[in-house]
Amino acid sequence: MIVDDNPANLKVLEEILSHQGHAVRSFPRGRLALAPALHSPPDLILLDINMPEMNGYEVCERLKSADHPQLANVPVIFLSAMTATEDKVKAFRSGAVDYISKPFQFEEVQARVETHLKLHNLRLALGRHNELLEEMVAARTRELAEANERLMVLDRSKGDFLQLISHEFRTPLNGLLGVGELILDGMHPTEENDELRSLFARSRSRILSLLDDALLLTHVDLRRDMFRLGPTPLSAVLQRAMESTLDSARFANVTIECPSASPRIVLADASLLTRAMHGLLEISVKFSTPGTAVRLSFDESADFWKVVINVHGWTIPSSALARFFDPFAIAEALTPGGELGLRAPMASRILKLFGGSVDVANRDESGIRLTVCLRRAVTASAL
């Protein structure tokens, strides 16, 4: 669109721009150009300044006003014989992108028109691209929200299913275990029968432990909000965990040594942390050779308390180290006492729930080392 009150300028500009392949609309007054520009926005406007009724500054300001958002990005190039700096500054302030002084050179007009048309088209393409990206992001966000909702439904269903299976599993299991105990109690006290009773007791304990650990893993994964974390005395937790491991340690002829310590308060759920530490101590006993001791020691950093569990005995094959805390490694027999059940993944998941961790490594000489990191709790006073 060309707006100029000089017919000769209009004719010349229309000829050279039409020759370049542009569709040109010409207007001798700014007022006459406003309505057509609003009805069919041009790609570029060449605008004179000194015109009757409405000068170029006013026309540009009207075109760029907030009332006409469809024209906001249309580039305006002023054509004027006014060469003072303040005139050019006023032109740019009114919304122009360029300024060509009269008398103009055809080559300059052609070059500037082509440059600003390219820039305008690039801006339009970028705008369309951004709109497309926003649509894609919105569509992807909806897909992810729907997928997340489906996953939440599946997780809830899985948790409900596991709880149902656990309840239904325990009912016939209790019958089997009860009948087994009655039969074993009625058998004569011979060496062979005593061995059967011991095997039955260990199997019973392992089955119930696996069932409890599997359910706990499900709760930790799916229902994190049900656990209340707070300041927890580490020494009391370790004491209860060691007491729970006492029978296994005696059966394996292994002792557990833990130095007395000043109060250490960690962020945890006391019951869950006891389960995790009990599981790690049970693992330590399984890796210990008879007659040795599982030794606990403490370390600290700015944000964490560390419990280091040193075990003298068997090591973990290098091929199994990376999968040590994987629930699906349950069937691997890593110790002479057999597989470890779900104790390792259960302890790992619990500690992650508290913002902590557990690592395992083979000791240089023999045995393994378990390192537990627990976040310090901020308390007003030591508990």
**β-bridge pairing 45-48 and 76-80:** parallel
Specify the pLDDT at position 289. Answer: 92
Segment 321-348 mean pLDDT = 73
Q: pLDDT tens for residues 149-169?
A: 887 777 666 666 666 666 666
CB neighbours of residue 229 within 10 Å: 18
Confidence of residue 380 (pLDDT cuts 50, 70, 90): very low
Helix (H) or strand (E) holding 250: helix 234-251
Q: pLDDT tens for residues 29-65?
A: 988 999 999 989 999 999 999 898 889 999 999 888 8
What is the rounded distance in angstroms from the CA atom of residue 274 to the CA atom of residue 341? Answer: 17
Q: Which of residues 4 and 337 earns the better pLDDT score?
A: 4
DSSP 40-76: S--S-EEEESS-SSS-HHHHHHHHTSTT-GGGTT--E
Which residues have a Cβ under 8 Å from the Cβ of 326 and sit 6 or more positions away?
Answer: 345
Helix (H, G, I), strand (E, B) or coil at 80: strand
Rounded to 10 deg, the angle between the 191-222 and 270-287 helix axes is 140
Nearest CA-CA partner of 64 in 45, 88, 82: 45
**In this structure, what token pair is assigned to residue 259?**
């130095």
Decide if 47 contacts 34 (C-beta within 8 A).
no
Per-residue pLDDT for 136 more than 60? yes
Lay out the sheet containing 2-3: strands in order across.
26-27, 2-3, 45-48, 76-80, 98-101
Angle at 91 between CA 85 and CA 97, to 5 degrees: 110
Specify the pLDDT at position 317. Answer: 85
Decide if 233 contacts 383 (C-beta within 8 A).
yes
Per-residue pLDDT for 382 more than 60? no
DSSP one-letter code for 253: T
Confidence of residue 331 (pLDDT cuts 50, 70, 90): very low
Q: pLDDT tens for residues 5-14?
A: 999 889 999 9
**β-bridge pairing 368-375 and 304-310:** antiparallel
> Domains, the chain, ranges and CATH?
2-104 (3.40.50.2300), 227-375 (3.30.565.10)
Nearest CA-CA partner of 361 in 296, 316, 297, 303: 316
Q: pLDDT tens for residues 231-263?
A: 999 999 999 999 999 988 998 999 999 987 667
Nearest CA-CA partner of 226 in 376, 357, 353, 358: 353
**β-bridge pairing 265-268 and 230-233:** antiparallel
Least confident of 107-116, 126-135, 260-269, 350-359: 260-269
